């Protein structure tokens, strides 16, 4: 294994709004990458060795979206490639590129412009197995999340109310975050009295969509020092796929083994032996409210089946023992498709630098960020970050 | 698969078109995939320029390159492009081909001549690897297009009449030889 | 900008197994089944099972061919990614060679000891004709209104190469003749044949100067490689094939602003890979090559981009038999895409697999005449943009 740590030296973003008609998607990529390079003090044309872009054709509306990747992020005529996956998978590639010695500085960009997709539900359908699932009259494709939610509730004894508390906590947390267009002062009784959207969740517990582009710049320890003092360490990264989208029947419903496997790898690399104690804050996927509770358990931040009790206790509140989604989560920020995980990564980096402004968690030293690619996938990426900066 | 002889059978079952379409359990699936793309500020203005009968390009304030089609940013300097310039609608044929088939792979009634036109935009050396250029139709006789003399031929844009222009790349009907 | 390559990567990375399915116009098997067949063979050859695999890398080009969004997720279990780290990389047609390139840093970083790298493509589901999917690769505002066909862009590039280099159609057609004939010895081949230059010139004229037989076919198929760290490789085989160099470059999307006669992006990628591999004179040091050949002129284009011949010289060497299996620098001994088929991502992996077998002297009737020590493969992708290169040695 390569020696030296991997550092995050710059982050930038653009958007986090329900629509961005003033720019094309390439324009968004340029804006976020500009900001990230300025933040990192790098000249992309001279200092960046590899450019990683994260996008999926059918979200972009272009067969071979990779074609449009290089120019806006400064990667034209450079080693640039596309990962068809979550933005955090791009970070995993960057980690490997740096550890292998092939690159010293890597830029990772991910974006989503769901406002330009007029038939979003159809695109989700297109991801389902064409032989076994698509022909079934299943209505909203998010039914899969409903199945998982129901299985989770049955197994752990969590109730509908616990799911609602997640929504209340996160949407209110988002009020402090300028990147959270769906934040609101919603109350528990309002969530509980709202009709179900996808049983057992109401519309408050299912995230909306937003447009955003996020760029992060990573570097080897030695290279990082050339550019900046404000360094956040990427101590560990892990990713895993439980089953393919064509084999949903093999999935362990109500669990996310891929997240657990990813977390175990990331914790091992980061030297985290007691996550509940070592982690100061967590940014996890909550695009369906139950996912926050499931993620917390799979990330070993609460024992199996206990997450809802910790939640009830206030442990995960903004001012709690272990804040979960102080950013407001996907429920407040919206989902920019594959860029979701990278957006939360950016949040964690800001926290560890002490630059999260109104939503700064005090004494943030170590963070875990976990993403899930959403229905109908069972792929998860986990990263562990830390900093020595006094927050 | 080592020491392969010619008769080694690899996995995979071939089907003829007829067999495929008469398979039991064949599923037909056509997603509704509709998108509305923002053109972005540069292309929007470029299209506006076409409506007015002009080809517009953008110059980089740092390296001076003039980009046609215009972009929002310079790929070499990674800075926003801000200066608009009008460029000549004349150029030279970089390459030309004659198509006998349509997008759907059907035979066309009349062959189409298309190509890349290197525009007479200052700042690029004659044999430089990069240049300002456009892909478009060429109003050249197909047999003339196949001759060696076609590459390097001087051409000029043939614009549609003002009333027919809509702010699209098709506002230029084609590029034709300069007499 | 220089990519700083670490020439002292502690563990070298090797390919220890490869597998292929037949390439065919229409397969009965589903995409996952195709991936599985190829993956299983590669594991068998390496003497390993799925338990021994740490990570999976999948390569597959446009989702719209197989007809499934999030195609990497769909292919996951067929490719062995069951509770394993899996990632899908995608650089258009360049994907096939990019899959082992990406697998390289999975191993070189120390994160994975073994990687199963799978390339799969099923083009037949696209209806009425897979060609139609290519309608959506173009810029929606500048190009789509002109209703272009993919073959146009290749034809334009071929014409430019002919104009700049003085090559004629009959000179270029020799590539198609060579590769289809080479493919007769390849059990995976879809369109192997003994044809003549005349056959090529007389085949249906699609977009002058491109005729039907200048092009590789639409295909279904899969190919896979098992890649391992040096430790594992030496336990598993006596003849690991080392990945000495990896390179990749992506040019801008504006192909109408570039000299089409020379693939600059491929040249950059090749230099990156050669530098890493310590190769200074590729035209002398490379023994055998698999340049990407979706069209016949493309092989020449890529030979020059890879610096295996000087710009505009490849077609002349071709006429002299330089690139035949018994020539100085055999190219596409597999039969290439022109002879074996073009299931996009799988085709690139197939070319790397071929070099793997060549370097182990296991290519049977396809084995090139001269002794082989160093090899290079490349793939091309997107809108004349992506160059991916891998350098191997035994």
The string of DSSP letters for B23-34 reads: -TT---------
**Tokens encoding B75:** 């790929």
Res. A184: pLDDT tops 80? yes
Residue of C nearest to B29 (CA): C67
Average pLDDT of the residues of chain A: 94
- Is CATH 3.40.47.10 what the domain over A6-118+209-227 is classified as, yes or no? yes
Instruction: Find tokens 């700042």 and name the residue.
Output: B123
- For residue B13, the chain C residues in CB contact (below 8 A) are 27-29
Domain holding B126, by residue range, is: 40-177
Beta strands in A200-300 (DSSP E): 201-202, 211-220, 232-241, 281-284
Q: How many CB atoms lie within 10 A of CB A169?
A: 27
Determine the Cα–Cα distance for residues C68 and B17; give it in Å rounded to an integer. 21
Q: How many CB atoms lie within 10 A of CB C147?
A: 14
What total number of domains does chain B contain? 1
Q: Do C257 and B67 touch (CB under 8 A)?
A: yes
Instruction: Find tokens 């394993």 and name the residue.
Output: C84
Q: For residue B29, is it within any domain?
A: no
Res. B168: pLDDT tops 80? yes
- For residue B132, the chain C residues in CB contact (below 8 A) are 257
Residue of C nearest to A125 (CA): C69
**Tokens encoding B41:** 């500020």
Q: Is C325 helix (H, G, I), strand (E, B) or coil?
A: coil
Residue C6's pLDDT is 46
Interface check for B146 against chain C (CB to CB < 8 A): the answer is: yes
Give just the sign of the alpha carbon dihedral A19, A50, C270, C192.
Answer: negative
Give just the sign of the alpha carbon dihedral C191, C182, C209, B97.
Answer: positive
Question: In this predicted model, what pLDDT tens digit does every residue of A362-379 receive, in sequence order?
Answer: 999 999 999 999 899 999
Residue A2's pLDDT is 52
Length of chain B: 179
Element (H, E) at C390: strand C386-393
Q: For residue B146, is it within any domain?
A: yes
The model carries a pTM of: 0.95
Q: For residue B73, is it within any domain?
A: yes
Strand bridging mode C374-381 / C288-290: parallel
Beta strands in C101-173 (DSSP E): 114-122
Task: Note whether C340 and C186 are within 8 A (CB).
Answer: yes
- For the segment A266-291, the average pLDDT, to the nearest whole number, is 96
Please provide residue A214's backbone torsions phi and psi, each rounded to the nearest 5 degrees: -130, 135
C278 pLDDT band, cuts 50/70/90, is very high
**Tokens encoding A289:** 């409210």
Question: In this predicted model, what pLDDT tens digit does every residue of C91-117 receive, in sequence order?
Answer: 999 999 999 999 999 999 999 999 999
| Helices (H) then strands (E): counts for chain B | 3, 8
Whole-angstrom Cα Rg for chain C:
19
Res. B7: pLDDT tops 70? no
Question: In this predicted model, what pLDDT tens digit does every residue of C126-183 receive, in sequence order?
Answer: 877 777 777 777 887 888 888 888 899 999 999 999 999 999 999 999 999 999 999 9
Residue of A nearest to B41 (CA): A23
- For residue C39, the chain B residues in CB contact (below 8 A) are none
Residue A252, classified by CB atoms within 10 Å of its CB into exposed (0-12), middle (13-18) or buried (19+), is middle
Residue B3's pLDDT is 41
Residue B1's pLDDT is 40
Please provide residue B143's backbone torsions phi and psi, each rounded to the nearest 5 degrees: -70, -35
Q: For residue B160, is it within any domain?
A: yes
Q: For residue B139, is it within any domain?
A: yes
- For the segment A299-310, the average pLDDT, to the nearest whole number, is 96
- For the segment A78-103, the average pLDDT, to the nearest whole number, is 95
Residue B44's pLDDT is 87
Tell me the three-class secondary structure of A52-111, residue by residue: EEECCHHHHCCCCHHHHCHHHHCCCCECEEEECCCHHHHHHHHHHHHHHCCCCEEEEEEE
- For the segment A16-36, the average pLDDT, to the nearest whole number, is 92
- For the segment B97-123, the average pLDDT, to the nearest whole number, is 90
Helix C296-305 to helix C264-277 angle (10° resolution) is 50
Q: For residue B64, is it within any domain?
A: yes
Give the whole-number percent of chain A exceeding pLDDT 70. 99
Determine the Cα–Cα distance for residues B67 and B59; give it in Å rounded to an integer. 6
Determine the Cα–Cα distance for residues B12 and C343; give it in Å rounded to an integer. 13
Q: Which is nearest to C249 in space by CA: C57, C72, C62, C101? A: C101
A339 pLDDT band, cuts 50/70/90, is very high
Q: For residue C362, is it within any domain?
A: yes
Average pLDDT of the residues of chain C: 92
Chain B segment 7-36 residues within 8 A of C by beta carbon are 7-17, 19-20, 23, 28-29, 31
Q: Do B10 and C20 touch (CB under 8 A)?
A: yes
Q: Which is nearest to B159 in space by CA: B150, B149, B169? A: B169
**Tokens encoding A229:** 């003092």
Res. C265: pLDDT tops 70? yes
Beta bridge partners of C247: C389
CA angle in degrees (0–180, nearest 5) for A57-A62-A64: 65
Res. C54: pLDDT tops 60? yes
Beta bridge partners of B154: B92
Which one of C72, C385, C386 has the shortest CB-CB distance to A85?
C72
Interface check for B131 against chain C (CB to CB < 8 A): the answer is: yes
Residue A232's pLDDT is 96
Residues with Cβ within 8 Å of C198's Cβ and at least 6 positions away in sequence, in order, are: none
Count how many pairs of residues, chain A against chain C, have C-beta atoms within 8 Å: 232
Question: In this predicted model, what pLDDT tens digit does every residue of C315-353 receive, in sequence order?
Answer: 999 999 999 999 999 999 999 999 999 999 999 999 999
Res. C5: pLDDT tops 70? no
Determine the Cα–Cα distance for residues A170 and C61; give it in Å rounded to an integer. 38
- C71: domain CATH number? 3.40.47.10
Task: Note whether C136 and C56 are within 8 A (CB).
Answer: no
Res. A296: pLDDT tops 50? yes
Q: Do A70 and B73 touch (CB under 8 A)?
A: no
Question: How much is the ipTM here?
Answer: 0.94
What total number of domains does chain C contain? 1
Residue C352's pLDDT is 97
C374 pLDDT band, cuts 50/70/90, is very high
Tell me the three-class secondary structure of C336-372, residue by residue: HHHHHCCCHHHHHHHHHHHHHHHHCCCCHHHCCCCCC
Beta strands in chain B (DSSP E): 55-59, 66-67, 83-87, 90-101, 107-119, 133-137, 154-159, 172-177
Instruction: Find tokens 């989503």 and name the residue.
Output: A112
Residue of A nearest to C102 (CA): A93
Residue A139's pLDDT is 80
Q: Tell me the HSE value of A60 on the side-chain side, using a 13 A CA sphere.
A: 35
Q: Which is nearest to C334 in space by CA: C132, C222, C160, C192? A: C192
Res. A308: pLDDT tops 90? yes
**Can you list the alpha helix ranges (DSSP code H) found in A257-356?**
257-270, 275-278, 289-298, 307-313, 329-333, 340-353
Residue C34's pLDDT is 94
Please provide residue A279's backbone torsions phi and psi, each rounded to the nearest 5 degrees: -90, 130
Residue C299 CA: distances (Å) to CA of A14, A51, C173, C289: 42, 27, 11, 10
Task: Note whether B144 and B150 are within 8 A (CB).
Answer: yes
**Tokens encoding C327:** 């020539």
Q: For residue B7, is it within any domain?
A: no
Domain holding C97, by residue range, is: 13-127+217-393
C10 pLDDT band, cuts 50/70/90, is low
Please tell me the distance in Å from B177's CA to the nearest CA on chain A.
32
Task: Pick the more confident residue, C309 or B43.
Answer: C309
B102 pLDDT band, cuts 50/70/90, is confident
Give the whole-number percent of chain B exceeding pLDDT 70. 96
The string of DSSP letters for C44-94 reads: HHHT--GGG--EEEEE---HHHHT-SSHHHHHTGGGT-SSB-EEEE-BTBT
Determine the Cα–Cα distance for residues C299 and C303; give it in Å rounded to an integer. 6
Length of chain C: 394
Residues with Cβ within 8 Å of C95's Cβ and at least 6 positions away in sequence, in order, are: C59, C60, C61, C89, C119, C344, C345, C348, C379, C381, C388
Determine the Cα–Cα distance for residues C352 and C365; give it in Å rounded to an integer. 17
Res. A391: pLDDT tops 60? no
Dihedral, CA of residue C170, residue C175, residue C176 and residue C179, to nearest 10: 150
Query: For an interface test with C, which of A76, A81, A251 has the most C Cβ atoms less than 10 Å from its Cβ?
Result: A81
Question: In this predicted model, what pLDDT tens digit does every residue of B53-75 receive, in sequence order?
Answer: 999 999 999 999 999 999 888 98
Determine the Cα–Cα distance for residues C42 and C16; give it in Å rounded to an integer. 8
- For the segment A115-144, the average pLDDT, to the nearest whole number, is 88
Residue A242 CA: distances (Å) to CA of A86, A107, A374, A378, C370: 15, 28, 13, 6, 46
- For the segment C190-204, the average pLDDT, to the nearest whole number, is 95
Residue of C nearest to A131 (CA): C30
Residue B71's pLDDT is 87
Q: Do C76 and A102 touch (CB under 8 A)?
A: no
Residue A29's pLDDT is 94
B4 pLDDT band, cuts 50/70/90, is very low
């Amino acid at each position: 294994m390569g020696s030296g740590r991997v550092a995050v030296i710059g982050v930038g973003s653009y958007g986090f709004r329900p629509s961005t008609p003033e720019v094309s998607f390439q324009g968004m990529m340029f804006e976020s990458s500009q900001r990230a390079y300025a933040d990192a003090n790098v000249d992309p044309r001279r200092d960046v060795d590899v450019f990683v872009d994260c996008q999926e054709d059918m979200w972009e509306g272009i067969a071979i979206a990779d074609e449009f990747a290089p120019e806006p992020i400064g990667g034209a005529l450079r080693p640039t490639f596309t990962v068809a996956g979550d933005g955090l998978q791009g970070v995993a590639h960057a980690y490997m590129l740096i550890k292998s010695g092939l690159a010293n500085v890597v830029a990772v960009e991910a974006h989503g412009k769901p406002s330009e997709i007029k038939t979003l539900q159809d695109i989700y359908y297109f991801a389902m197995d064409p032989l076994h699932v698509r022909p079934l009259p299943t209505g909203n494709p998010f039914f899969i999340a409903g199945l998982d939610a129901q299985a989770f509730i049955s197994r752990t004894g969590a109730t509908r109310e616990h799911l609602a508390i997640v929504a209340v906590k996160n949407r209110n947390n988002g009020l402090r975050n300028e990147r959270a267009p769906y934040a609101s002062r919603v109350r528990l009784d309002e969530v509980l009295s709202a009709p179900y959207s996808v049983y057992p969740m109401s519309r408050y517990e299912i995230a909306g969509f937003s447009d955003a582009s996020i760029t992060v710049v990573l570097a080897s320890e030695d290279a990082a020092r050339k550019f900046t003092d404000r360094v956040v360490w990427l101590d560990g990264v892990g990713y895993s796929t439980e089953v393919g989208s064509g084999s949903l029947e093999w999935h362990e419903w109500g669990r996310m083994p891929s997240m657990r496997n990813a977390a175990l790898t990331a914790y091992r690399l980061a030297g985290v032996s007691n996550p509940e104690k070592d982690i100061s804050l967590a940014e996890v996927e909550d695009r369906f409210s139950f996912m926050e509770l499931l993620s917390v358990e799979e990330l070993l931040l609460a024992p199996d089946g206990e997450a809802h009790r910790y939640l009830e206790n206030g442990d995960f509140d903004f001012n709690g023992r272990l804040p979960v989604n102080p950013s407001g989560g996907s429920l407040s920020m919206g989902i920019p498709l594959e860029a979701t995980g990278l957006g939360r990564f950016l949040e964690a980096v800001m926290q560890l630098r002490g630059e999260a402004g109104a939503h700064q968690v005090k004494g943030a030293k170590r963070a875990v960020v976990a993403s899930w690619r959403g229905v109908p996938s069972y792929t998860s990426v986990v990263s562990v970050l830390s900093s020595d900066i006094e927050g | 698969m080592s020491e392969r002889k010619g008769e080694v059978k690899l996995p995979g079952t071939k089907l003829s078109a007829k067999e495929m379409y008469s398979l039991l359990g064949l599923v037909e699936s056509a997603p509704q995939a509709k998108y509305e793309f923002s053109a972005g500020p540069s292309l929007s203005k470029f299209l506006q320029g076409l409506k007015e009968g002009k080809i517009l390009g953008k110059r980089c304030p740092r390296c001076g390159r003039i980009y046609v089609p215009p972009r929002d940013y310079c790929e070499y300097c990674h800075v926003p492009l801000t200066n608009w310039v009008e460029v000549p609608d004349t150029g030279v044929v970089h390459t030309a081909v004659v198509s006998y088939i349509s997008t759907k792979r059907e035979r066309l009634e009349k062959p189409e001549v298309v190509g890349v036109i290197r525009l007479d935009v200052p700042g690029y050396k004659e044999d430089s690897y990069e240049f300002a250029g456009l892909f478009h139709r060429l109003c050249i006789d197909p047999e003339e297009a196949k001759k060696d003399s076609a590459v390097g031929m001087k051409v000029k844009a043939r614009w549609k009449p003002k009333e027919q222009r809509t702010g699209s790349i098709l506002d230029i009907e084609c590029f034709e030889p300069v007499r | 900008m220089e990519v700083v390559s670490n020439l002292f990567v502690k563990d070298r990375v090797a390919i220890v197994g490869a597998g292929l399915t037949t390439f065919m116009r229409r397969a009965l098997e589903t995409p996952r089944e195709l991936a599985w067949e190829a993956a299983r063979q590669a594991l068998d050859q390496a003497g390993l099972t799925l338990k021994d695999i740490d990570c999976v890398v999948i390569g597959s080009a446009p989702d719209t061919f197989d007809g499934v969004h999030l195609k990497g997720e769909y292919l996951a279990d067929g490719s062995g990614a069951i509770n394993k780290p899996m990632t899908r990389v995608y650089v258009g047609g360049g994907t096939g060679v990019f899959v082992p390139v990406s697998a390289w840093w999975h191993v070189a970083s120390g994160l994975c000891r073994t990687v199963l790298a799978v390339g799969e493509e099923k083009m037949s589901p696209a209806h009425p004709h897979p060609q139609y999917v290519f309608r959506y690769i173009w810029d929606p505002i500048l190009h789509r209104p002109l209703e272009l066909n993919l073959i146009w862009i290749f034809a334009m590039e071929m014409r430019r190469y002919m104009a700049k280099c003085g090559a004629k159609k009959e000179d270029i057609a020799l590539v198609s003749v060579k590769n289809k004939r080479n493919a007769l010895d390849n059990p995976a081949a879809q369109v192997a044949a003994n044809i003549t230059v005349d056959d090529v010139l007389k085949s249906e004229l699609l977009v002058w100067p491109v005729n039907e037989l200048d092009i590789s076919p639409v295909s279904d198929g899969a190919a896979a490689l098992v890649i391992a760290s040096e430790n594992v490789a030496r336990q598993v085989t006596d003849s690991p094939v080392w990945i000495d160099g990896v390179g990749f470059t992506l040019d801008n999307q504006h192909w109408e602003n570039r000299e089409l006669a020379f693939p600059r992006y491929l040249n950059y990628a090749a230099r990156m890979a050669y530098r890493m591999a310590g190769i200074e004179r590729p035209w002398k040091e490379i023994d055998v090559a698999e340049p990407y050949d979706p069209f016949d002129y493309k092989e020449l284009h890529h030979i020059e981009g890879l610096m295996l011949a000087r710009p505009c010289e490849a077609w002349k060497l071709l006429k002299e038999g330089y690139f035949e299996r018994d020539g100085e620098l055999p190219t596409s001994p597999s039969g290439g895409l022109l002879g074996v088929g073009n299931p996009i991502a799988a085709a690139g992996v197939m070319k790397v697999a071929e070099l793997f077998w060549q370097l182990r002297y296991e290519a049977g009737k396809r084995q090139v005449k001269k002794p082989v020590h160093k090899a290079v493969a490349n793939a091309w992708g997107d809108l004349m943009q992506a160059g991916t290169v891998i350098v191997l040695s035994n």
